[in-house]
Amino acid sequence: MNKIMTHFVVGFPTMEKSFAAVEAAIEGGASFIELQFPFSDPTADGVLIQDACAVALEQGFRVADGFDFVEKIREKYIVPVFVMSYAGLVFAYGVENFVKKAKSSGVSGLIVPDFPFDYDAGLYQACRESGVHAVAVVLPSIEESRLEQILSLDQRYIYVAIRAGITGQESQVSGEITAFLQKIRRRGKFVLAGFGISSPQQVAALATSCDACVVGSAIVKRLTESPDSLEELKSFVKNLSVAG
Amino acid sequence: MDYNVPNENGFFGEYGGRFVPPQLEDVMKEITEEYFKIKDNSDFLEELQDLYEHYVGRPSPLFHAKNLSKKYGAEIYLKREDLNHTGAHKINHCLGEALLAKKMGKKKLIAETGAGQHGVALATAAALVGLECDIYMGEVDIAKEHPNVIRMKILGATVVPVKSGLKTLKEAVDEAFIAYLQDPVNQFYAIGSVVGPHPFPLMVRDFQSVVGKEAKAQFTTMTGKALPDNIVACVGGGSNAMGLFTPFIKEKNVNIYGVEPAGRGFKTGDHACTLTYGTPGVIHGFKCYLLQDEEGEPSPVYSVASGLDYPGVGPEHSYLKDIGRINYDCINDKEAIDAFFELSRVEGIIPAIESAHAVAFALKLAKQRPGESILINLSGRGDKDIDFVIDNYGKDYGISR
């Protein structure tokens, strides 16, 4: 039995519509909300999310809007919110300030893929001090010694990108992947599995090997193609969440 | 002052580093390890040396520009990187990177290019060592640098047009990074300057430092003096500048000048004077001075020179600015174009518009420091720029097609 984390780009397709989409996902049974603060150089993302970020930025997204967005969700729902963004944005805000602001806005954890723990500009320390989870992102191809370092970081969550490359391409759930996820889980970590997950079948295949499946590009795709079909989004999430 | 940079983690003071997503961590470590394995290996150095001499045509000459010297009052010397095979300094590091990639078993070289000089040099190196090559180039630059686009295609490379944002260098880097993420195992991203995640700023600098090493020895042979009084190079990402400057950094008596493009003015979007007007930030996997808004978004940049319009700059330049070792100044489009024609008409050398920025600054400096020696890195030749210059500036100089 695993849960669903849904991923949204804040401000895409508009501020209002992204908020409505988050609400639909929560009503559909999403257990975690991941919010991407758009940045012009989203290095780990595929075209869909890149374009969504570009749209949100064109409409004038500011980091302050992102934190307001989190507060609005937290005022209304009991749901953990994770913020995902990139090093350039976090660094410009000031790493410590960003973490403090995240904490005071009700953010549970931060995912900054290009701030790995050994090139983090102080992110992990700031997170420890503020009580915000710093979520490391790992690939199954990671070197054993490096994985050990990450596992010993005293952080509860680990995000596993279940394949190399960028977001938004369909992933096969192989036995190798599930074995890797289970290995991390056995070490007492809460495992978020993402990258290329869009179907109930995939979620079911991962049901016993991760704690939550992250669905990102599939949701952004829906919001790109039919930004107002919130009922459909809700049932899409529902179908995923019952599959786990 | 600590000139022994970067440290083992790739930091030049607070700048540099390796801020990359996990997809690139392993491959960056692998490139670092492999580079450190070969960098002092005699077989590798012999191979590179042989190519420098017989393929590139090194050492490039140092030319005493007597006409300019007489006209402007200082002794002006040109390090003729424009005479290298492919017409610029870029070939120096492209050969190094191509050999490294080949040794690592990579199948394809990929890179961004602004003016097309790096793209042409890399396509050349790829053809020579037998690797495939994809070059990412902004559509604006493709239109402006047509001859280089054709050259890359003739050399067998694929030129991938980049349509996002301002369609220039920054977007080309974005696209090349994304392509790299898709397959870091078979591809090697040969970054075009002393930028990007560790070890690229270090590695590109090392390969380019042949420029300064030669220039230093040539200057002494030619003049009998140990060192020039002043050395000058243009700075976009900063590879030709680090190449010239590196062997002179520890020589306290040498004044070092890096010249940034002031474009058409000092409003955001009109220039690319990163070190002069930027603030520390993170871009493309490293920390450096960056032209950015308060949210960390890289600002739009502009220069008449496609090879200089990048919102970031090499981390070592950022460090050397902070510790006060290098003076950074700006030259605008008009001054660069004036210098382009001046060097062409006074010495019979058509410079790249990028390099013309360094010439323009040196001519100003000459008037302030009569009698002193000024050594300029003439990093590239202007063949690629002639159509653009004629169409946009020809009438100001009394010429048309």
Q: Active-site residue among A23, A34, A68, A232?
A: A34
Q: Given this structure, which CATH class describes domain B11-51+90-204?
A: alpha beta
> Is B23's CB within 8 Å of A121's CB?
no
Beta bridge partners of B283: B286
- DSSP letters of A14-44? -HHHHHHHHHHHHHHT-SEEEEEPP-S--TT
pLDDT band at B268 (very low <50, low <70, confident <90, very high): very high
Taking the alpha carbons of A206, A208, A124, A36 in that order, is the dihedral positive or negative?
Answer: positive
Summarize the confidence of residues B195-217 as an average pLDDT.
98
Residue boundaries of the structural domains of chain B? 11-51+90-204, 58-87+209-397
Q: Which of residues 21-40 of A touch B (CB under 8 A)?
A: 39-40
Which residues from chain A sit within 8 angstroms of residue B17, using beta carbons? 119
Q: Which of B26, B285, B296 sits opposite A92 (nearest CB)?
A: B296
Extract the tokens encoding A145.
């010694």
Name the residues of B annotated as catalytic.
90, 112, 379
> For residue A38, what pLDDT is reported?
96
pLDDT tens profile B39-86: 999 999 999 999 999 999 999 999 999 999 999 999 999 999 999 999
pLDDT tens profile A1-34: 789 999 999 999 999 999 999 999 999 999 999 9
- A71 part of the active site: no
Across chain A, which has 244 residues, the per-10-residue mean pLDDT values are 93 97 97 96 82 95 98 97 97 98 98 96 97 96 94 95 77 89 96 93 93 95 94 96 88
Which of A93, A101, A119, A123 to mutate: most B Cβ within 10 Å?
A: A119
Q: Which residues contact B33 (CB under 8 A, 6 or more apart)?
A: none
Q: Do domains B11-51+90-204 and B58-87+209-397 have the same CATH topology?
A: yes
Instruction: Return the axis-axis angle of helices B333-347 and B353-368, rounded to nearest 10°.
Output: 80
Q: State the ipTM, two decimals.
A: 0.89
Runs of H (alpha helix) within chain A: 15-28, 47-58, 63-76, 87-93, 95-105, 123-130, 144-151, 175-186, 200-205, 217-225, 230-243
CATH of B58-87+209-397, one of 3.40.50.1100, 3.40.1280.10, 3.40.50.1980, 1.10.760.10: 3.40.50.1100
The 10 Å Cβ neighbour count of residue B370 is 10
Q: Which of A54, A90, A161 sits opposite B22 (nearest CB)?
A: A161
pTM for the model: 0.93
Q: Which of residues 12-71 of B touch A (CB under 8 A)?
A: 17-23, 25-26
Residue pair B319/B5 in contact (Cβ under 8 Å)? The answer is: yes
> Is B181's CB within 8 Å of A88's CB?
no
Which of A36, A37, A39, A41 to mutate: most B Cβ within 10 Å?
A: A41
The 10 Å Cβ neighbour count of residue B172 is 31
pLDDT tens profile B330-349: 999 999 999 999 999 999 99
Question: At residue B389, what are phi and psi to the nearest 5 degrees?
Answer: -65, -45
What are the Cα distances from residue B119, in Å, to B87, B105, B171, B193?
A: 12, 21, 15, 11
- Asked whether the predicted pLDDT for residue B312 surpasses 80, the reply is yes
Tokens 């780009």, residue? A9
pLDDT tens profile B24-44: 998 999 999 999 999 999 999
Query: How far B324 CA sits from the closest chain A CA (Å)?
Result: 24
Tokens 């003439």, residue? B378
Burial call B212-247: b when 16+ CB within 10 Å, e when fewer: bebbbebbeeeeeeebbbbbbbbbbbbbbbbbbbbb
Summarize the confidence of residues B220-249 as an average pLDDT.
98
Instruction: Return the axis-axis angle of helices A217-225 and A230-243, rounded to nearest 10°.
Output: 160
B182 — contact with chain A (CB < 8 Å)? yes
> For residue B1, what pLDDT is reported?
65
Percentage of chain B lying above the pLDDT 70 cut: 100
Summarize the confidence of residues B101-125 as an average pLDDT.
96
Extract the tokens encoding B142.
């493709």
Which residues from chain B sit within 8 angstroms of residue A143, using beta carbons? 26
Q: Active-site residue among A27, A45, A143, A228?
A: A45
- Asked whether the predicted pLDDT for residue B350 surpasses 70, the reply is yes
Residue pair B312/B283 in contact (Cβ under 8 Å)? The answer is: yes
Burial call A20-39: b when 16+ CB within 10 Å, e when fewer: bbbbbbbebbbbbbbbbbbb
Q: What is the longest distance spanned by two Cα atoms in chain A? A: 47
B8 — contact with chain A (CB < 8 Å)? no
> Is B165's CB within 8 Å of A165's CB?
no
> For residue B145, what pLDDT is reported?
86
Which residues from chain B sit within 8 angstroms of residue A91, using beta carbons? 281-282, 287, 296
